Amino acid sequence: MSKKIQIFDTTLRDGTQGEKVSFSAEDKIRIAKRLDEFGIQYIEGGWPGSNPKDMAFFERAKRHSFQQAKIVAFGSTCRTGNKPEEDSNLRALIEAETPAVSIFGKSWLLHVTHALKISPEKNLELISGSIRYLKEHGKEVIYDAEHFFDGYKDNPEYAIKTLLAAQTAGADVLVLCDTNGGTLTHEVTKVVHEVMSAVDAPIGIHSHNDSELAVANALAAVDAGAVHVQGTINGYGERCGNANLCSVIPNLQLKMGYSCVSDEHLKQLSTLSKFVSELGNLTPDNKQPYVGKSAFAHKGGVHVSAVIKNEQTYEHIKPELVGNSRRVLVSDLSGKSNVSYKSEELGFEFDKSSAESGKIVQELKKLENEGYQFEAAEASFELLVKQITKNAPDFFKLEGFRVIMEQNSKGESRSEATIKVRVNDQIELSAAEGNGPVNALDAALRRALCEFYPEISSMKLQDYKVRVLNEKDGTGAKVRVLIDSAKDGTSWGTVGVSENIIDASWKALSEGIIYFLMNQNSKPRKRENLVETGQKNTTEVPS
C-alpha cells in the first residue's frame, strides 16, 4: 500500500500574497469546496482578524460542510509581552472555530534578535506557550518553522531547539519552511535527514520558488522522510511563488509511488488548475507542466507521427491521468472524450457516437479560439451542449436593448438600460437604472422577466469579472466576462466574449438566468394572471 502524504493547500492564504492574485470571500469558499472535492486534506483559509475578507471567509466556512478537508486558520505565536490567553492573535485563531490551526514561529536567530528583539530563550517560550494554549483548546496544531533552512545553516543547534520546543508543547506536525526560497535541493535533503534524527514529530515542508526549486525541494524533503507538503495551486504566492501543487501531487503520486489523492480525483487536476486561475482573474499558464494547455501538445513532423503510433514516444505520462488531453495541433484527436468527460462531470449524458458530437467539438474549438473558457462557466457549457442537441429551453427572446451612461461636470454618473423581450407571444418593455451600465442592464432584464417568472427575484448576481484577452489591441480588445450567480448557497458560472463589454456581459447575464430557469423547471405565467392574483414585481437589483 502506498505511503500517504498529507497535502496542505495554502492558495487562499500564502497564494493571495502573490502579485495580481486576489480572491473575494465567495471566491475563497468556492475554491475551498473544489479543493475538498479534489481530495486535499488541509485548506488554509487565511489569517483571521487580519482583514475583513478573511474574517468573512471563516464565518462562511462555518456554514459549509466539507467532505474530508480540514479548514485551517493561520497566525503567529503570541506577541512578546503577552500571555497566550491574552493574545488577540491566538484568540482570533480559536474564534475561527477551525479544527486545525497553523502558526509560525522564528527559527533564525537573526529574526529573533533583530526583528523580535528578544532573547533566544524568550522565543522558545513564545513557541511552546502558544502551541500549548492552542492544544488546550482542542486544536490540531501545525507548526511552521519560519526561515528554518536559513536558521539551520546559521545555527543548527538553536534551530533544532525551536522544533523541540514546538514538539514538547504538542505540535502535531513540524513544517520546515524555506521562506526565502534560496535553499538548494541537496541542502534540503541533508537538513531533513538531520532534523529527523533529532525530533520525533512528523516533518513537513513549505518551499518557495525563488531559486526555481520549490517543487524539487518539496519532493526531496518527502524522499528524505517528510510526510506533509504545503503548496498552492498553480504555484501562486509571494515573490516567485510557492511549491506548485499541480506539479508536486502528480510527481509524488505518479513518479514516486506515494498517495496524495485518489486516482479518480487526480483526473480533475487540470480543471482545478484552470478553475482557480479563472476565479483569480489570471491567465492560465499554457506551458505549466501536467495541467497546461501545451503540456501534451504536439506540432507536426516526426513528433506527431510518433505519438500517433505510440504516445510514450513523446509523453512522460498519459495526459488523462491528470485530466489533461493530447493535442495534435492540426486536429484535436481527443475532443469528443473531453466533451464526454465534462458532460458526465456536470451530470448529463453525452453520446460520443451521436451525430451532434462532432458539431459540439467543432463549436467548442471555434468558441475557445474566440476566447471562451468554460472551466469556471459550467452553466454556459451545459447550455451550449443543449443548444446543439436541440434540447435547449426557450424561456425568452431578446428583441433589443439600449444602454445609456451619462456623466455631468461634477463627475456624477448615471446609467440606464431599456430592454424589450418576447415571452411566447407577449412583448415586455422595461427600463431600469443602475450603478453602472451592466448593473442597469441586469436590473432591466430582471424587471421585464419577473412579469413572467417571479422566481427570478430569488436569484442574485454575486460576482462579476472582466478579463482583457488581447491587450495589444488596446480599447478595441476582446474581453471575457465571467459571472457567478447564486440562489440558496448554490452557484453557477456563465461566460461571454466580445469586443464590446456590454455585449459580453449580456451573454453571461442572460445565460445565467436561462440556466436558473431551466433548473427550476420554470413555466412562463401570463401577464393577466399575474395582475388578477395581485402579484407584483419584487426584483431585487444586486449592487
Q: DSSP letters of 420-457?
A: EEEETTEEEEEEEEESSHHHHHHHHHHHHHTTT-GGGG
311 vs 194 pLDDT, higher one: 194
118 vs 345 pLDDT, higher one: 118
**Assigned domain for 304 exists:** no
Question: What domain range includes position 194?
Answer: 6-261
> Can you give the pLDDT at residue 410?
82
Distance CA 460, CA 453 (A): 14
- Number of structural domains the chain divides into: 2
Here the CATH number for the domain that contains residue 513 is 3.30.160.270
**Assigned domain for 218 exists:** yes
**Assigned domain for 296 exists:** no
488 has pLDDT over 90? no
Q: What is the mean pLDDT of residues 89-101?
A: 96
* 306-340 b/e (C-beta count within 10 Å ≥ 16 → b): ebeeeeeeeeebebbebbbbbbbeeebebbbebbb
427 has pLDDT over 80? yes
> Can you give the pLDDT at residue 541?
38
Q: For the segment 7-21, what is each residue's pLDDT rounded down to a tens digit?
A: 999 999 999 999 999
354 vs 501 pLDDT, higher one: 501
**Assigned domain for 244 exists:** yes
Q: For the segment 236-249, what is each residue's pLDDT rounded down to a tens digit?
A: 999 999 999 999 99
535 vs 27 pLDDT, higher one: 27
Burial class (CB in 10 A: 0-12, 13-18, 19+), 524: middle
**Assigned domain for 336 exists:** no
Distance CA 225, CA 119 (A): 32
Distance CA 90, CA 132 (A): 11
**Tally of CB atoms within 10 A around 434:** 21
> Can you give the pLDDT at residue 543?
34
In the structure, what pLDDT confidence band is assigned to residue 331 with cuts at 50, 70 and 90?
A: very low
> Can you give the pLDDT at residue 368?
80
Domain end among 197, 232, 261: 261
**Assigned domain for 511 exists:** yes
Domain end among 261, 289, 313: 261
373 vs 169 pLDDT, higher one: 169
Here the CATH number for the domain that contains residue 101 is 3.20.20.70
Least reliable range by pLDDT among 360-364, 405-409, 512-516: 360-364
Domain end among 208, 243, 261: 261
Least reliable range by pLDDT among 264-273, 321-330, 415-424: 321-330
**Assigned domain for 284 exists:** no
Cell output for 366: 471555434
The pTM assigned to this predicted structure is 0.70
Residues 238 and 94 in one domain: yes
125 in Cβ contact with 162 (< 8 Å): no
Residues 83 and 228 in one domain: yes
Computed on alpha carbons and rounded to an integer, the radius of gyration of the chain in Å comes to: 27
Q: What is the mean pLDDT of residues 89-113?
A: 96
Q: What is the mean pLDDT of residues 373-399?
A: 86
